[in-house]
Amino acid sequence: MTSKLDLIIKPAFSRAYIRIVMGNRVWAEVLTDSMLPVLSLAAYVYTYYFLGASSQYVGFVILGGAMLAFWSNVLWSVGSQLYWEKEDGNLETFFISPASKMSLLTGMAFGGVVNTALRVIVTIAVGVIVFGVHFDPSQIPEALSVFGLTVIDLYALGMVFSSLYLLYGREAWHISNLLTEPVSFISGLYYPIQFFPFWLQALASLIPMTLGLDILRRMFFNGSTILSESLEVGVLAIMAPVLILLAKFALDYMERFSKREGRLTLRWQ
C-alpha cells in the first residue's frame, strides 16, 4: 500500500540517485568537471601572486572557486532542470504521476549538491596542497555550518529558478548566460565586496553566495565566529525557508499556468 509519505520520499530519493548516477557514469566528464575549473582559479591566484597581494586573497579565490562550483551547478543544472525535463519528455510523466513535484525538485537539487561536492573537494585540496592556503582548523566546524546553510540557500534559489525558467525561458541557457557573469562580478567570488558602494553591496547580499562567502572569509581569515556574524548568519538562515516556500509557490504557479495556457508540454517554447 502506497502512503503519502512514499510519494514524497521515494521520488526525491530516486531523482537524487538518478542524478548522482548520471553525473558519475562517464569518468571523462567527472574528471574534466572537477579538474578543469581549477585552471581558471589558478589564473586568479597567480594574478594575486604577481601583484604581491596578501595570502588572504589566495584564500578568497579558493573559497570563491568552491562556491562558484555550486553556483554554476545551480544555474546550469538545477535552475534549468525542469526545462530539460520538458524537452526530454519527462515533465509530462512527472505531472501525471501522484509524486510530489517539490520532492522531485528537491531530489534534483540534492543530487546536484552531491555531484558538485567532488569539484569542491578538488578545489579546496588544490588550494591547500598546491597554493598553501591555510584554514584555521578550529574554525572548520562553524565554517561548515555556514557553508552548508549557504549551499541550502543556493539550491533553494535554484529550485525557484527552475519553475521560472520553464515559465519564461524560451531557451533556458540564455537566462543562465545572463546571470553567470553579473553574479560572478557582484558576489565577490574572487575579492571582498567591500570595494563596492553600499547600494551594490546591499544588492549583492540578496544572493546567498555573497553573504555566505563574506562570512566564511571573515571566519577563516579574520577570526570571526558565528556569534560575531550573527546578523548575516541569521539572514542566511531565514533565506532558506523563504526560498523553499517561494520555490513551492513558483512550482504550483507554473503548474497552474501551464495547465491553463496549455504550454506544459510544448517544446522549444
Partner 1 sequence: MRESVRTEDLTRTFRGEEGEIKALDGVSLSVMPGEIFGLLGPNGAGKTTLTKILCTLLLPTSGKAFVNGYDVVQETAKIKEVINLASGGETPGYGILTVRENLWFFSQLYGLSNEESKKRVSQLIDAVGLQEKAKERMNRLSSGMKQRLNIARSMINDPRILFLDEPTLGLDVVFAQEIRQYIEKLVKVDPEKTVLLTTHYMAEADEMCDRVAIIDKGKIIVVEAPARLKSLFSKDVNLLVEVSFIGSRADELLKLKGVKGLSVTHSPEKNTTTLKLVLEEESTISDVISAIKEMGVTMHMMNKAETTLETVFISLVGRGLE
Interface residue list for partner 1 (CB under 8 A): 2-3, 6-7, 10-11, 13-15, 18, 21-22, 25-26, 88-90, 92-99, 104, 259-260, 262, 264-265
Nearest distance from C-beta of residue 94 to partner 1, angstroms: 7
87 vs 171 by CB, closer to partner 1: 87
Q: What is the helix (H) or strand (E) element at residue 197, kind and residue range? A: none
Q: What are the distances in angstroms from CA 157 to CA 132, 154, 172, 175?
A: 33, 5, 16, 14
Q: Which of 32, 265 has the CB closer to partner 1?
A: 265
Residue 15 or residue 248: which is nearer to partner 1 going by CB?
A: 15
Q: How far is the CB of 263 from partner 1 (least distance, A)?
A: 10
Nearest distance from residue 109's CB to partner 1, in Å?
17
- 33-175-251 Cα angle (round to 5): 95
**Which lies closer to partner 1 via its Cβ, residue 81 or residue 150?**
81
Residues in the chain: 269
DSSP 8-state secondary structure symbol assigned to residue 195: G
Alpha helices per DSSP H over the chain: 6-24, 27-51, 55-73, 81-87, 90-96, 101-129, 140-168, 172-186, 198-204, 208-222, 230-261
In sequence order, the 6+-apart residues with CB closer than 8 A to the CB of 208 are 150, 153, 154, 157, 236, 239, 243
Q: How far is the CB of 120 from partner 1 (least distance, A)?
A: 23
CB of 105 to partner 1, least distance (A): 13
Q: How far apart are CA 265 and CA 269, in angstroms?
A: 9
Of residues 100 and 187, the one with the C-beta less far from partner 1: 100
Query: Least distance from C-beta 100 to partner 1, angstroms?
Result: 10
Residue with smaller CB distance to partner 1, 10 or 218: 10
In the chain, the amino acid numbered 264 is L
